[in-house]
Amino acid sequence: ITNTVSGRVNPETGEVSLAEINLSAQECRNIDRIFLVACGTSWHAALVAKYWIERHAKIPVEVDIASEFRYRHLLIDERVLTITISQSGETADTLAGMRIARKMGSKAITICNVVGSTMTREADGTVYTHAGPEIGVASTKAFTSQLAALFLFTIFLGRHRGTIDLAKQQELAQALIGIPAIIEHHLPKIQEQVGALIEGYYDCRDFLFVGRGLSYPIALEGALKLKEISYIHAEGYASGELKHGPIALIDKEMPIVAMVPQDKVYHKTISNIEEIKARQGRLILIGSEGDSHLLTITDDVVWLPKIHEDMNPILYTIPAQLLAYEIATRRGCDVDQPRNLAKSVTV
């Protein structure tokens, strides 16, 4: 994950340099607002980055689906930084959004996987994810690489704006540097746990995915992956939003995948989950090793190590992707070539 991004992290100091970003320290300080613009899975990466940038670089961030952004009455000037995120660098709506923002005076940086793509040629600066070609249509490794790139960008911005001190820079950089080894170490165990539990779920018609805070976009991504490759209807919601409507869907037939890391919002998330349990929803929990409270709620728990809170979105993506993969395979779907989907949407 971290080796592929076109940036360098000094392992001692945590200092981040981003080779092709073309954004000076002064320009970082001048930013008033950031627009993150993307489609599909890349839009979910943008939603995660909003939390990171606002928390650490203290810049207000707006996140837009590119197909809406381009038709909005945009209030953009040269103090706005626009960041487009795209695996392919060719997605028509994202490209159009970038062109509009640049015309209005905004500098545009793109987080992109394809060298020489239209977006990288037209952007003012680029952070390459260099995740390699996605073999399948559904974006998977591109997503986790986008998250790594966006986290490096967050450290870069925070440092130049003085919102992150040296100790924080070190802490955040170390957290990111450590994540590939953690995933590699735990992957077989995660795969085994997910594989074991899908037997009870692969023939369900609908799924809900819920999460709060940094886990909310991962709930959206888990639902999208399941839809894309297994054709099961799935929706992602912010946990706290359930009681504003979706809770009406819950009965003993409805599987709900809940992300419950032991983070700042853990207790709130647990109380949402208790509400689901009270309505007999079939819960699959993805949570932290050692959190025995989860076993009082359900036996279907995927255990993940407890890590730096900011890294949870990267780690929690892995079981969400695997769940979609295992279910799709069990249903006989071609996970690499899902029907009706194109690798890049250029019209």
Long-range contacts formed by 50-54: CB under 8 A, 24+ apart: 51/213, 51/214, 52/150, 52/151, 52/154, 52/310, 53/150, 53/153, 53/154, 53/157
| 8 Å CB contact between 148 and 315 | no
For residue 73, the minimal CB distance to ligand F1P (Å) is: 24
Q: What angle do CA 334, 336, 337 make, to 5 degrees?
A: 70
Beta carbon of residue 84, minimum distance to ligand F1P (angstroms, whole number):
8
Round to whole Å and give the CA distance between 271 and 136: 37
DSSP label at 60? -
CB atoms within 10 A of CB 69: 25
Name, in order, each residue with C-beta under 8 angstroms of 267's C-beta and a sequence gap of 6 or more: none
- Could you tell me which of 188, 228, 189, 205 has the C-alpha nearest to residue 325? 228
Pairwise CA distance, residues 210 & 89, whole Å: 29
Beta carbon of residue 36, minimum distance to ligand F1P (angstroms, whole number): 13
Type and span of the H or E element at 153:
helix 141-161
DSSP secondary structure of 198-258: GGGTTT-SEEEEEE-GGGHHHHHHHHHHHHHHH--EEEEEEGGGGGGTGGGG-STT-EEEE
Complex with ligand F1P: residue 139 or 154, whichever CB lies closer: 139
Q: Which is nearer to ligand F1P, 330 or 343 (CB)?
A: 343
Least distance in angstroms from the C-beta of 147 to ligand F1P = 13
CB 169 within 8 A of CB 14: yes
- The answer to whether 343 is a known catalytic residue is yes
Distance CA 231, CA 335 (A): 10
Pick 173 or 322: Cβ nearer ligand F1P: 322
Least Å from the CB of residue 82 to ligand F1P: 15
Catalytic residue among 168, 189, 306, 343: 343
CA distances from 209 to 48, 137, 264 (A): 16, 22, 19
- Site residues (vs ligand F1P, CB under 6 A): 39-42, 86-88, 91, 94, 137-139, 341, 343-345
Nearest-CB residue for ligand F1P: 40
Question: Quick one: tokens of 6?
Answer: 């076109």
For the CB of residue 139, give the shortest distance to ligand F1P in the complex, in Å: 4
Select 153 or 303, whichever has its Cβ closest to ligand F1P: 153
Of 83 and 276, CB closest to ligand F1P: 83
Q: Which is nearer to ligand F1P, 163 or 344 (CB)?
A: 344
How far apart CA 145 and CA 3 sit, in angstroms, is 9
Min dist. Cβ of residue 113 to ligand F1P (A): 7
Given the complex with ligand F1P, which of 191 and 344 has the nearer CB atom? 344
- Positions marked active-site: 343
